[in-house]
Amino acid sequence: MSKKVKQKETRRVTGRRTFLLGSGMLLVTSFLSGRLYQLQVAQNNRYKRLSDRNQFDHRVVPPRRGRLVDREMRLLAGNAESYLLHITPLYAGDVDKALAQLASLIDLNEDVIAQVLEKARKGPSFRPILIRESLTQRELSRLAIRSAYLPGVTFEKSLRRIYPQGALTGHVTGYVSPLTSREIEQDRSLGELPDLATGKIGVEYALEPELRGLPGAERVEVNARGRPIRVFRDFEPESGGDVRLALDIGLQQHVTEILRRGKSDPVDMSAPEVQRAIAGNRELKQHLASGENMLLRDEIGKITPPESGAVVVIDITNGEILSMVSSPTYDPNIFTDRLLTRDWRRLNEHPRNPLLNRVTAGLYAPGSTFKMVVALAALEAGIITEGTRHFCNGSMELGNATFHCWLEDGHGTVNVVSALERSCDVYFYEVALKTGIQRIKDMANRLGLGDVTGIDIPGEKQGIIPNHEWKLATHGVVWTPGETVVASIGQGYVLTTPLQLAVMTARLASGTKAVTPSLRAVAGEPEFAPLNISPVALRIVRKGMFKVMHGSLGTARAHNLPTGLGGMAGKTGTVQVKRITKEQREAGITKNIERPWKERDHALFVGYAPVQNPRYAVAVVVEHGGSGSSMAAPIAKATLQRVLEIRDRA
């Protein structure tokens, strides 16, 4: 082949290759340009968001929780500044090592470390985990100085729930505490608020949606080590609403003090005699270990803990609860941070269960305070009139059983008014048998017994007002006349809460309205349902309650209010918890005070004042307090006297 032909072939091959190479390059360039356009223009927003995810930490901002205040706007539950310590596993790397470093700088117990490691193992690595709340200024300083050597560890200002009144209002306010896994399962949106504290009991729980508010959102610009650089607030959180309660904290403090003291006086805790008593008594040690700071000397000289029980005060005109005391109580502040094991153990091992709200969840036989129910049922049904009399010789025979009156020799001939005044059991045995348990139950229900009141406190008990159907459904056997006899004096199956007894008394005092209790302050005069009870029957029963305080033989005549305050009407009740055994009688133990605390009678009292124009109703229950006339009535008197004095000053 000639040289020219070879050169021509070479140029042809080279041209073809150049064309192919150029075409390939053009194709690649076109693809790259198209891809570049797609990335930088078409999908700009998407990749900007992806970039922001690396640059910004998106956070949900918890709202400020609404406050709880009393009727005079005094703070019951509020918020205080606090500093939180978090760790983000994604930025921390070795979480174990980071926690070990933190433990050398601040107080971190092994339980907390274990909980954080568990959350780091199970949860997403990008989500911050709370390590500590309420950092002290010294701890904050130590962390700030060493922050450059603690990757993934951040601290920030927050709001911590506080209860300035402490144990005084523990059972009313309840408390908030960190979210539980169960709450997050029920509401997935809460998982975005890991530091949120929610109401677990009391008003905090009942009004959770109203108090919580709505969360906001922010973006925190972070560097490669997860350190915040700038914060961009996208929208502000909406604070929860404040709630004004009807409670009067001054009255609450006064009532708490008189209930806890009962009939006894506090002792000097440092006295050698008292210290010896503590050393030899396990129950006293448990009381003191739980934070108790007062002991009493009872009427036989024994060192004892403060009294246990409940007191409720209701404004009859609008249903406002001015005081609601349950003793013993607890300090809700211990629940706002992580509850220490030792504190939880002390509360649970306390012999008198301070976590029980006795006002709404304590169930007690109402004793003789139930006699007004029986009297009203009989009067309204026409079974008796004010003039109907029965003779009490101290007992009543029914079949093979003998039912005794509290007064061994009996009260003689009494009518309904004098039977209430002197609390004659036999009179009500006779009347109840003729009236029947169904009529008694119906009247009890109309007065607010045997049903929840609907107050803003979760866990309220319904109580029991029995009848034939109830006995058959719950026990599988028929009702007997003897059980009607026992129910007539508020014992047997009959169970009520102190709050229900206060509602019953408020309705009796009102006479026309089915007063409903409210923990919130009430604006104006509420519309209560009509009571629909015979005015004549109510007048007779209230006359008997008046005689209890003012009659020459009234069971609480020694504890009436001063005439200048308008006097009071009421009814005592003493509920036997355990019969005195033959062995105790033979050993000479016949007095209530001489028996073990848990075997003593409960003391009850219900009443209202002033007599002519009733404004306030009170119910008192003193657990194992003995006689209603000597223990509960004085507490009711002191309570109503303080309420009326406060009203006069207002």
Q: What is the DSSP letter of 155?
A: E
Question: Which pLDDT belongs to residue 153?
Answer: 84
Using alpha carbons, list the distances in angstroms from residue 534 to 49, 375, 381, 430: 74, 12, 10, 22
Average pLDDT on 448-454 reads 95
Check whether 398 has a pLDDT greater than 80: yes
Cβ distance 311 to 323 under 8 Å? Answer: yes
Task: Write the pLDDT tens digit of every residue in 489-546.
Answer: 999 999 999 999 999 999 999 999 999 999 999 988 899 999 999 999 999 999 999 9
Question: Which pLDDT belongs to residue 479?
Answer: 97
What's the CA gap between 643 and 120, in Å, rounded?
55
Strands 569-575 and 602-609: antiparallel
* Least trusted range by pLDDT, from 10-24, 204-218, 309-323, 392-406: 10-24
* Least trusted range by pLDDT, from 193-197, 214-218, 463-467: 193-197
pLDDT band at 478 (very low <50, low <70, confident <90, very high): very high
Domain boundaries, the chain: 57-244, 307-649
Question: Which pLDDT belongs to residue 631?
Answer: 96
pTM: 0.85
The amino acid occupying position 451 is: D
- At 83 the three-state DSSP class reads strand
Question: How many Cα neighbours within 13 Å face the side chain of 385?
Answer: 1
What's the CA gap between 320 and 520, in Å, rounded?
7
CATH 3.90.550.10 matches 57-244: no
Question: Which pLDDT belongs to residue 141?
Answer: 84
Helix (H) or strand (E) holding 442: helix 437-446
What's the CA gap between 489 and 492, in Å, rounded?
9
pLDDT band at 50 (very low <50, low <70, confident <90, very high): very low
pLDDT band at 580 (very low <50, low <70, confident <90, very high): low
State the Cα torsion 462-463-464-469 to the nearest 10°: 10
Share of the chain above pLDDT 70, in %: 88
* Homologous superfamily (CATH) for 307-649: DD-peptidase/beta-lactamase superfamily (3.40.710.10)
Cβ distance 615 to 505 under 8 Å? Answer: no
What's the CA gap between 493 and 134, in Å, rounded?
49
Residues 6+ apart with CB under 8 A from 63: 212, 213, 214, 215, 216, 237, 238, 239, 240
Question: Which pLDDT belongs to residue 456?
Answer: 82
What's the CA gap between 150 and 221, in Å, rounded?
18
Strands 68-69 and 243-244: parallel
Q: Tell me the average pLDDT of the chain.
A: 88
Residue listed under structure tokens 């608020």: 193
Check whether 586 has a pLDDT greater than 60: no
Residue listed under structure tokens 């004096």: 489
Task: Write the pLDDT tens digit of every residue in 309-350.
Answer: 999 999 999 999 999 999 999 999 998 877 777 888 888 888
CA angle 534, 633, 442 (to 5 degrees): 30
Check whether 175 has a pLDDT greater than 90: yes
The amino acid occupying position 187 is: D
Beta strands in 94-194 (DSSP E): 129-132, 153-162, 175-178
Check whether 97 has a pLDDT greater than 50: yes
pLDDT band at 168 (very low <50, low <70, confident <90, very high): very high
Residue listed under structure tokens 């040690």: 285
Pick the closest to residue 327 from 276, 362, 280 (CA basis): 362
Pick the closest to residue 629 from 549, 562, 545 (CA basis): 549
Question: How many Cα neighbours within 13 Å face the side chain of 116?
Answer: 28
Cβ distance 240 to 617 under 8 Å? Answer: no
Question: Which pLDDT belongs to residue 44?
Answer: 64
Question: Which pLDDT belongs to residue 299?
Answer: 87
Check whether 616 has a pLDDT greater than 50: yes
pLDDT band at 286 (very low <50, low <70, confident <90, very high): confident
Question: Which pLDDT belongs to residue 152?
Answer: 82
Helix (H) or strand (E) holding 556: none
CA angle 575, 576, 581 (to 5 degrees): 170
What's the CA gap between 570 and 637, in Å, rounded?
10
SS (H, E, C) 358-401: HHHHCCECCHHHHHHHHHHHHHHCCCCCCCCCEEECCEEEECCE
Neighbours of 431 (CB within 10 A): 23
What's the CA gap between 133 and 84, in Å, rounded?
5
Residues 6+ apart with CB under 8 A from 118: none
Cβ distance 30 to 208 under 8 Å? Answer: no
